[in-house]
Amino acid sequence: MENIYPLLGDKFPQISVSTTQGMKTIPDDYIGKWLVFFSHPGDFTPVCTTEFIEFAMHIDNFNNLNTALIGLSIDQNTSHIKWLEWIKIKTKIEIPFPLIEDPLGNISRKLGMISPAKGSNTVRSVFIIDDKGIIRSIFIYPQEIGRNINEIIRTIKSLQLSDNYQVVIPANWPYNSLIGDKVLLRPPTNIDDAKTRMEKVQMEGYTCYDWWFCFKSLS
């Protein structure tokens, strides 16, 4: 059965969009980079304004993670442009990433970014898309609560570490109450691996509570 909306592990559906920085094709234009594709309820609204400023203030963190940003709402580009101009004039913060116009809501509905019970505007959806165009994480926040930008950055960094080192990441990393900033070895998938796990991991610098719970520092 075909998914109604894209899910984790799916290729992000190809869409051509009109943005404040010209036409974009997603994910093709961003292959080789990670991408945060997010929706906001509306221009000239207070919570969205604080979110965009936070995204802009953290742009170096995203750049260091080879990650681009692109926003979307059902507003037209004329509204987007005026809002971005207002932000720059009033706060001295320039928004460096493009915004997508979606006045008919076609893109938003395709991606599940409109929840009818929450009104006709987009909710605060976030798709984290990797450098191959695969959806790696999805967040959905209601209109009344602004996003935690640091958590989005933490998620991207965690996913990249998991890919690069074949490890998994503990809760609240890098401030886990039990193992701090250490990362976890992926659990064994068969009996033979489980039997030899303790011997192997000691040679690789892991510490283990048991054969299924091993961890080490990457620093």
As a whole number, mean pLDDT of residues 170-179 equals 97
96 — phi, psi (to 5°)? Answer: -90, -5
Residue 175 has pLDDT above 50, yes or no: yes
The answer to pTM > 0.75 is yes
DSSP H or E stretch at residue 59? helix 59-64
Selecting among 17, 26, 48, 156, the annotated active-site residue is 48
90 — phi, psi (to 5°)? Answer: -80, -30
* The predicted structure's pLDDT at residue 1: 39
* The predicted structure's pLDDT at residue 96: 97
Q: Which two tokens stand for residue 92?
A: 């001295």
The amino acid occupying position 217 is S
214 is a catalytic site residue: no
Residue 27 has pLDDT above 50, yes or no: yes
pLDDT tens digits, 179-199: 999 999 988 888 888 888 877
pLDDT tens digits, 105-153: 999 999 999 888 887 889 899 999 999 999 999 999 999 999 999 999 9
The full set of domains in the chain, from first to last, is: 15-147 (3.40.30.10), 167-216 (3.30.1020.10)
Query: To which residue do tokens 């992000």 refer?
Result: 12
As a whole number, mean pLDDT of residues 21-34 equals 97
Q: Which two tokens stand for residue 78?
A: 């004329």
Sheet holding 213-216, edge to edge: 167-168, 183-185, 213-216, 207-210
Residue 2 has pLDDT above 60, yes or no: no
* The predicted structure's pLDDT at residue 3: 56
Judging by beta carbons within 10 Å of its beta carbon (0-12, 13-18, 19+), is residue 101 exposed, middle or buried?
buried
Q: What share of the chain is helix, strand, coil (3-state, %, to 5)?
A: 35, 25, 40
Query: What is the per-residue DSSP string for 120-176?
Result: SSB-EEEEEE-TTSBEEEEEEE-TTS---HHHHHHHHHHHHHHHHHTEE--TTTTSB
108 contacts 13 by C-beta, under 8 angstroms: no
* The predicted structure's pLDDT at residue 204: 76
pLDDT tens digits, 38-85: 999 999 999 999 999 999 999 999 999 999 999 999 999 999 999 999
Q: Which residue has the higher pLDDT, 85 or 211?
A: 85
Residues forming beta bridges with residue 167, ordered by sequence position = 185
Q: What is the mean pLDDT of the chain?
A: 93
The amino acid occupying position 46 is P
50, 31, 109: which is closest to 74 by C-alpha?
A: 109
